[in-house]
Amino acid sequence: MSSTYQRLYYRLKPIYGEREAKEIVLLMLEMGFGITMTDVVCGKLDEMNEEERVKLKQMMLRLERNEPVQYVLGQAYFDGDIYEVTPDVLIPRPETEALCRWIVEEWHGEGRLLDCCTGSGCIAITLKKRCPQLSVDAYDLSSAALKVARRNAERLQQDIRLFQMDALNPIPATEKYDIIVANPPYICEREKRDMRPNVLQFEPHKALFVPDNDPLRFYTAITCYAADALKPGGRLYFEINPLFVDALKTMIRSFGFREIEVDRHFGYDQRMMKAQL
C-alpha cells in the first residue's frame, strides 16, 4: 500500500473515523486526480507531479477543517451521475436518491412534474432522465442555487424549466401537475447539537433548518400549493423528518389528500412520504 495513501488516511481518521476517512481519501483521489484504488496499489499515487502535489495539499487542509469533500471537489455523485455542488446548495444524499427511485418505480408515461426547493437540481434532473416523457419544472428561492441547477441540467443534457420562487410565498399556480416533489428544509434548530461540524459549518442553513416552534412551515406551504396545483389524483412526494410523521399526516389530510403512505422499502425508515389528491 502506498505510504502517501496511508499518510492521507491517518491525517483524516481522527476527524472522520476509520471508514469515512478511507471513503473520503478514495473519493478525493478518484474525482480530483483520476486515481483509483487499483492505481494506489500499483504505486501511481507516489508518481504525482508537483502541481498535483500542491493541489492535494490544499485539498487536505480544507478536509482537515471539516469542509465536506464534495465542496472541496466541487462535485458529488447522485444516481450514478456527477453533479456540480457549491456552498450555495446542499450536498445530494442517498435518502434523496431513494425518493427519486420511489417516483420512478411508480410513474410511467407522460405527465408534468414540479420539484420544489430544487437546490442543485438533482431531483428534477434525475427524474427527467429516468422518466423522459415527463415535463419537468423546478424552482428555488436562491438565484445562486438556480445557476448551479442550470449548469447541471445543461451538462447532463436534460431539458427542465427552472424558475425562482419562494415556497413560503408562492406565485399562484397557472399550470396543473401530475406530481409535485419536495425535499424542503426540515431540521429543527434544536437538532443542531447532534449534527456534525462539516454540515453545520459549511452547508447552507436556509436549505436545512426550520424554527423549533414551526417545524412544518415548508411542508404546510408546499402542501397548500399542491392542493391547488395538482390535477385530480395527482401525487405529492416529500422527503421528511421522521420526528414529525404523525403531524405531517394530519396536516396533509387537512388539505384533502388521501392514501398517505410512508415508505420503508429503500432502507430509510420513515424518510419519505407520498399522498394522493
Q: Which of 54-63, 153-162, 268-277 has the lowest mean pLDDT?
A: 268-277
At residue 101, the pLDDT reads 95
Q: What is the mean pLDDT of residues 184-195?
A: 92
- pTM, 2 dp: 0.94
Query: Residue 43: is its pLDDT beyond 90?
Result: no
| Backbone torsions φ then ψ of 115, nearest 5 degrees | -105, 120
The percent of residues in the chain predicted with pLDDT above 70, rounded, is 98
Name the pLDDT band for 114 (thresholds 50, 70, 90): very high
CA dihedral 27, 31, 34, 37 (to 10 degrees): 10
Query: Residue 1: is its pLDDT beyond 60?
Result: no
State pLDDT tens for residues 198-217.
Answer: 899 999 999 999 999 999 99
Q: Which of 154-158, 227-231, 250-254, 265-269 has the lowest mean pLDDT?
A: 265-269
* Mean of pLDDT over the chain: 95
Name the pLDDT band for 264 (thresholds 50, 70, 90): low
State pLDDT tens for residues 147-181.
Answer: 999 999 999 999 999 999 999 999 998 889 999 99
CA dihedral 44, 50, 51, 53 (to 10 degrees): 60
Yes or no: say if 87 and 71 are a contact pair by the CB < 8 Å rule. yes
Beta-strand pair 230-239/272-276: antiparallel
Name the pLDDT band for 268 (thresholds 50, 70, 90): low
3-class DSSP state of 52: helix
Q: What is the mean pLDDT of residues 34-61?
A: 93
Query: Residue 38: is its pLDDT beyond 80?
Result: yes
Beta strand residue intervals within 20-122, DSSP E: 75-78, 81-84, 111-116
The percent of residues in the chain predicted with pLDDT above 90, rounded, is 88
Name the pLDDT band for 28 (thresholds 50, 70, 90): very high
At residue 265, the pLDDT reads 63
DSSP category for residue 91: P
Distance CA 104, CA 126 (A): 9
Residue 189, number of CB atoms within 10 A of its CB = 14
Residue 66 burial class via C-beta count within 10 angstroms: exposed 0-12, middle 13-18, buried 19 and up: middle
Query: Residue 96: is its pLDDT beyond 90?
Result: yes
Name the pLDDT band for 269 (thresholds 50, 70, 90): confident
Q: What is the mean pLDDT of residues 248-259?
A: 97
Q: 76-108 in b/e burial notation, b at 16+ Cβ within 10 A?
A: bebbebebbbeebbbbbbeebbbbbbbbbeebe
DSSP category for residue 120: T
